[in-house]
Amino acid sequence: MPPALQPLSTVAAGSVATVAEIKLPPEFRPRLMEMGLLVGTSVELVRFAPLGDPVEIKVRGYNLTLRRSEADQILVRLPGGG
Amino acid sequence: MLIGPLFMDSPAPKPSADIDPTAVRASGKAHTSLRSGSTSGRPIHYVALTGNPNCGKTTVFNALTGLRAKVGNYAGVTVERKEGRLLGAPGAADIRVLDLPGTYSLSPNSLDEQISRDVLLNRLPELPPPDLIAVIVDASNLQRNLYYATQVIELGHPTILALNMMDVAESVGHTVDARKLAELLGVPVVPVVATTGSGIDALRRQIVALVENEAEVKPRLFCQFPGPFRIEATKLADRLAEVFRERWVQATAEALLILSNEKALASSSTHYPRAIQDDVAAARARLDAQQVDWRGSPIEWRYARVAEIQRAVTTQLAPPGESFSDRLDRVLTHKLWGTLMFVVVMATMFLSIFVFAKIPMDAIQAAVDWLGGRVGGLIPSGDLNSLLVNGVIAGVGAVVVFLPQILILFLFIGLLEDTGYMARAAFLMDRLMSKVGLHGKSFIPMLSSFACAIPGIMATRTIETPKDRLVTILVAPLMSCSARLPVYALLIAACIPARAVLGIPKLLQGLTMLSMYLLGVIVALLMAWLFKKTLLKGETPMLIMELPPYKRPLLRVVLRHMWDRSRIFLRRAGTVILGINIVLWFLATYPWSKVVMNESDAKRVAIVKESFPNVSLSFTRRGLDTEKLRVNLEPLAQTNLAASAVLGHLEAIDKEEAGEKLRHSFAGRMGRAIEPVIAPLGFDWKIGIGIIASFAAREVFVSTMSTVYNVGEAGEEDSSRSNLAKTLLEQKRPDGSPVYTTLTAVTLMVFYVFAMQCASTVAIVRRETNTWKWPIFQWLYMGLLAWVLAFVTYKGGRLLGLG
């Protein structure tokens, strides 16, 4: 039984998870994917900005920032449990 | 469903559609020699430098060309075009290196990326096809960089790969095998560390060798498309090869791009004929019917292949740990410390502009005064003397004096950009910007607009959504640019008390300056919000922004950058402002009023005759020789009270006459023509002259005022010209009350915060938006804002009993 999915924006800072589903509308998906965020990619949530938004993640060895509204629509799976 | 990595080198191109590559190169050469007028008919070879943002591309460019780049723009857009000659190329070769804007993908998401794509696909009529493409790759961030590099290699041009930042890769714990990478990519790979210059010589040799001996390019495709996608892509490539007579390799790569990415097609709608666009739509519909994700799958295939390559060439030396940059970010993006640091950085920037610039500014002012005095002494008094001293030297000097402040501002912006802090500033500010419907990325153009709206507006090209870009362009000129600084500085020095408050010297002056800046920021944000709600309705754009690792800035690069940008300002001072000053001097001096002169002379004669009935007065072509009279009276004035009284009277008459002359001059007439409009703001017609002149450029206000009042003083022979600020305070209204009160100064500054008084900005907005509609709209809305808010300030001030 695979662990449950949760939005990337709910992951605690410092934890690493695997992208399971990108629910963004198709026209917004390509650039995110071109930046290396694909289903199956492992991401680390680095931190939230001081004002709570946007969120900084580490993907494929570099740091990327997204808004919460986008991170909400990226579902991830934490290793070993939900 | 995930499609397995079925990757291999591409099959041999279809012979039927394979147009002879040499034929295309040859036609490219013909193009090249057509435009090689500059250097004795030698062919010019172009090397296009491309790569992801933050891969050290510009550092490589500087190392290859030695900081002697020509900076211009691509035709019709303000994307910066940087070009330089390759240093150390053998005598006969003229090899030009072109630094393309940083690009994440050949499916463009911004104007910058679109230009890169167009250069590489040879769509710009102004440029021949590049003879060689050099892809710069960040070895410490291999996967995302290779994603783009493989796209470029697939275009099938001669390509070389510079594997940059090998040192950074090692510091984060891995090495990259360049030989293995070359083997897997099928192009030469040169490892370099651009910041130290290591490997640059080898890169240069390889570039020269590849340009001079064109090697056969083996077509490569890194993704082997499965089933239906391959059928559609091949069909489309055939059509492209047929319609554009393109080599089949590039046609294949192009077909993949336009089939899989809506923006890739939309951004070249003028390039592809309707029929091809319809073909693409039909192909996508067929793929949809077969449930092929034509948008996402090609990206997944490429990343899978790229990850494979990356694993094959990378040796992990140490487990990836926290880098120096990560540790720095712990502080710089920390809730408390990060915010604090941000405030400190911004405050330091503004304080430096006002504190450190003081000494060089005083020196420049002294030099200008000295020059004016010397020139004034050499040339006999008259029109030419007045033109040179009051029009040219004082006018241009009044602007050049602000160069130190502008240099410091550009130095800071350059440092922020070069260290990587700019992206953090956007990260910290995004929440605030998104409140008004903008992007963290809009923060950078707006911050740059504090220096000048022109680079600020040019910086908006990194914003992907056209509407957000437009909103940012519309509000960017509300940020107080460096050209307003001279106006604020003059008015504050003249009308805001310098006395210490709470023990801090010049506190009121500093606070006034700060409030002008804040006023611009607040209204800019409000207007952005308003535009996003009404005119340019749209959702808050997505933010997908890289936070590049911090790096130590290269001082000479930052300095060079600062100088390049400041030169634009100096050139303006040297050309536009000089021209405006001459015109203004003319407008303020002519037409000569004989009546005014005769009336004044009659008064003078009466005054002199009253005390010295026997004195003989000499007249010149221009009436009474007041200079001679003064020379005769001055020695007497030491001892004779009557003589000194006469001198005093004469001076008063001079001023009165100057004022009358100005009123009769062209400038005076124009100022008075707009007086009804500006009178409700408490401005007189002389200020009106300054405002009219400022519509060319704001800083002209200062030089105009010095022209207006120096001409008005008729004090050419007075070598120690009084400080302009002091002169302003001496100005009286007809009723004897001072023109420049604290309230007038504040009202005038408020007007300058909002009015779009800058011909260059109007021109840039026209160019950026490609229509006159937006600059005209912007000019009107800002003008209206300026008048209304200045009116409110003035009336409000009067109600509070000021002025």
**Does a structural domain hold residue A82?**
no
- Nearest-CA residue of chain B relative to A49? B428
How many CA atoms within 13 Å lie on the side-chain side of A55?
22
pLDDT band at B25 (very low <50, low <70, confident <90, very high): very low
Distance in angstroms (rounded) separating the CA atoms of residues B246 and B244 = 5
**Burial (CB count within 10 angstroms: exposed 0-12, middle 13-18, buried 19+), residue B637:** middle
Per-residue confidence (pLDDT) for residue A81, from 0 to 100 = 54
Answer yes or no: is pLDDT of A35 > 80: yes
DSSP string spanning B531-555?
Answer: HHHTTT--PPPP-EEE-PPP----H
The CATH number assigned to the domain holding A30 equals: 2.30.30.90
CA distance B262 to chain A (A): 8
Per-residue confidence (pLDDT) for residue B27, from 0 to 100 = 37
pLDDT band at B731 (very low <50, low <70, confident <90, very high): confident
**Cα torsion at B303, B306, B311, B317 (round to 10°)?**
-90
Domain count, chain A: 1
Distance in angstroms (rounded) separating the CA atoms of residues B149 and B159 = 10
Interface contact flag, A31 B300, Cβ < 8 Å: no
Interface probe with B: pick from A60, A66, A70, A74, most Cβ of B within 10 Å: A60
- Nearest-CA residue of chain B relative to A34? B299
Interface contact flag, A56 B333, Cβ < 8 Å: yes
- Nearest-CA residue of chain B relative to A32? B544
Q: Count interface pairs A-B at CB distance under 8 A.
A: 117
Interface contact flag, A36 B338, Cβ < 8 Å: no
Cβ neighbours of residue B360 under 8 Å, at least 6 residues apart?
B403, B404
Instruction: Kindly state the average pLDDT of the residues B235-254.
Output: 85
Largest CA distance in chain B: 114
The string of pLDDT tens digits covering residues B325-375 is: 889 999 999 889 999 998 888 778 767 766 777 788 888 888 988 888 888
Interface contact flag, A49 B263, Cβ < 8 Å: no
Cβ neighbours of residue B248 under 8 Å, at least 6 residues apart?
B13, B14, B17, B18, B19, B219, B237, B241
- β-strand B544-546 against A62-66: which pairing, if any? antiparallel
CA distance A81 to chain B (A): 24
Would you call B593 helix, strand, or coil by DSSP? Answer: coil
H/E stretch holding A18 reads strand A16-22
Interface contact flag, A56 B295, Cβ < 8 Å: no
Which residues in chain A have their CB less than 8 angstroms from residue B427's CB? 49, 54, 56, 65
Instruction: Kindly state the average pLDDT of the residues B770-791.
Output: 93
Domains and CATH numbers, chain B: 17-212 (3.40.50.300), 227-316 (1.10.287), 592-662 (no CATH)
Which residues in chain B have their CB less than 8 angstroms from residue A47's CB? 329, 333
Q: Which residue from B576, B527, B486 is spatially nearest to B778, judged by alpha carbons?
A: B527
Give the global pTM: 0.77
Per-residue confidence (pLDDT) for residue B573, from 0 to 100 = 65
DSSP string spanning B620-654?
Answer: ETTEE-HHHHHHHHHHHHTT-HHHHHHHHHHHHHH
Would you call A19 helix, strand, or coil by DSSP? Answer: strand
Smallest Cβ–Cβ distance between A36 and the set B107, B303, B336 belongs to: B303
Distance in angstroms (rounded) separating the CA atoms of residues B44 and B486 = 45
Interface contact flag, A50 B334, Cβ < 8 Å: yes
What residues make up the domain containing A28?
5-77
Which residues in chain B have their CB less than 8 angstroms from residue A55's CB? none
Of B568-572, B642-646, B675-679, B742-746, which range is least confident?
B568-572
3-class secondary structure per residue, B657-671: HHHHHHHHCHHHHHH
Question: How many CB atoms are closer than 10 A to CB B10?
Answer: 17
Distance in angstroms (rounded) separating the CA atoms of residues B266 and B780 = 32
Answer yes or no: is pLDDT of B304 > 90: yes
Which residues in chain B have their CB less than 8 angstroms from residue A45's CB? none
Is the CB of residue B756 less than 8 Å from the CB of residue B778?
Answer: yes
| Backbone phi, psi, residue B198, to 5° | -70, 130
Complex ipTM more than 0.90, yes or no = yes
Per-residue confidence (pLDDT) for residue B153, from 0 to 100 = 94
Smallest Cβ–Cβ distance between B434 and the set A60, A61, A67 belongs to: A67
Answer yes or no: is pLDDT of B745 > 60: yes
Beta bridge partners of B83: B70, B98
Which residues in chain A have their CB less than 8 angstroms from residue B141's CB? 60-62
Interface contact flag, A28 B431, Cβ < 8 Å: no
Smallest Cβ–Cβ distance between A29 and the set B147, B295, B547 belongs to: B295
Is the CB of residue B387 less than 8 Å from the CB of residue B717?
Answer: no
Answer yes or no: is pLDDT of B160 > 90: yes
Smallest Cβ–Cβ distance between A67 and the set B320, B338, B542 belongs to: B542
Interface contact flag, B295 A47, Cβ < 8 Å: no
- Which range scores top for mean pLDDT: B218-222, B349-353, B533-537, B550-554? B550-554
**Does a structural domain hold residue A55?**
yes
Q: Which residues of A lie closer than 8 Å to B, measured between beta carbons?
A: 26-36, 38-40, 46-47, 49-54, 56, 60-67, 69-70
| Backbone phi, psi, residue B398, to 5° | -65, -20
Distance in angstroms (rounded) separating the CA atoms of residues A69 and A2 = 25
Smallest Cβ–Cβ distance between A66 and the set B262, B329, B544 belongs to: B544
pLDDT band at B40 (very low <50, low <70, confident <90, very high): low
Cβ neighbours of residue B104 under 8 Å, at least 6 residues apart?
A31, A34, A35, B52, B53, B113, B144, B147, B148
Answer yes or no: is pLDDT of B493 > 90: no
Answer yes or no: is pLDDT of B89 > 70: yes
Beta bridge partners of A44: A16, A58
Interface contact flag, B172 A61, Cβ < 8 Å: yes
Interface contact flag, A34 B296, Cβ < 8 Å: no
CA distance A54 to chain B (A): 7
DSSP string spanning B26-52?
Answer: HHHHHHHHHT-TTTTTPPEEEEEEEE-
